[in-house]
Amino acid sequence: MKLNSIKKIGRSDFVNMGPIQLRQPIPTSEIEMIDPFILLHHYGPYPINELNNPFDLGPHPHRGFEPVTFLIQGEQLHRDSLGNESVVKAGDVQWTTAGRGIMHAEGPTKEFVKKGGDLEGIQLWLNLPAAKKMMPAAYQHEKNEDFRVVTSKDEKVKIQIIAGELEDTYGRIATQTPVNAFMITASEGGRYEVAVPKNHHSLIYLIKGDVRINGNTDLALNENQLVWFEQNGEGFSIQATAQSTLLFLSGVPIDEKVTSWGPYVMNTQTEIMEALRDYKQGKMGFLPS
């Protein structure tokens, strides 16, 4: 396999969001976006208990993109204006297609707050093309144990196929554009070459551990770093030097102008103003606090 060279290595500095701090690999001053991926947040681990529960997000709207949550630790309750209510547990993924508008709320379940524990996850904002920004909203919740897995020959690397395809193994999540989303776990010494379609932008984000990229012994990827790859090969390789967990994302770039404000991602400022108006008029649905 001809390996994709590295375009850029990004950091994930802390940013403030209300009462919480979280890491933000995208956007940064160096990487504005990796089309079609607009935003990547790594929240936690936060110690949650009855005296400390900052991550309780009440009802709020979205339009024009797909907010996706990969829950790493803990337990969250999701509610939305479509009538969905589900408990998302560690390893689960919730994939919301906001489309023309949805109201949702999420936060640790009452049971989790009472017993206490760490909450950690990744939130991704995946853009929708202009032709699909006003499609009907939808919600998918897939459980950790139901995802299909590709395993290396030595069984030291396991790749959970959340969306897209690898080695003729397909994810359970339906996507609106060609996208791959894999959660990769590798034990020390594990090696694997991940194939990437040539028309995809691709990245990996190291959640924990220590890995080397493309066999380069001088390039050790540190925790909470992101690698953005060029499109000049057929994929990339990883070698774990410690127990590691990585998120891999790739997708066909949409290549359209992006205008965002708060919870809305559209193509023009006029569309942002229309989103604000429609939310105020209740056109994105209702959700009790």
Rounded mean pLDDT, 145-172 = 97
Asked if residue 113 is part of any domain, the answer here is yes
Distance CA 181, CA 45 (A): 22
Count CB-CB contacts under 10 A for residue 181. 24
Asked if residue 260 is part of any domain, the answer here is no
Task: Note the pLDDT of residue 210.
Answer: 94
In terms of residue numbers, what domain contains 172?
A: 6-251
Q: Which residues make beta-bridge pairs with 239?
A: 191, 212
Task: Note the pLDDT of residue 218.
Answer: 65
Asked if residue 84 is part of any domain, the answer here is yes
pLDDT band at 217 (very low <50, low <70, confident <90, very high): low
pTM recorded for the entire structure: 0.96
Calculate the CA 40 to chain-centre distance. 6
Cβ neighbours of residue 200 closer than 8 Å, sequence gap 6 or more: 178, 180, 231, 250, 251, 252
Asked if residue 269 is part of any domain, the answer here is no
Q: How many domains does the chain have?
A: 1
Task: Return the residue matching tokens 């005296």.
Answer: 51
Task: Note the pLDDT of residue 251.
Answer: 98
Asked if residue 256 is part of any domain, the answer here is no
- Residue 194, domain CATH: 2.60.120.10
Asked if residue 285 is part of any domain, the answer here is no
Asked if residue 61 is part of any domain, the answer here is yes
pLDDT in tens, 89-103: 999 999 999 999 999
pLDDT band at 215 (very low <50, low <70, confident <90, very high): confident
Task: Note the pLDDT of residue 166.
Answer: 98
Asked if residue 270 is part of any domain, the answer here is no
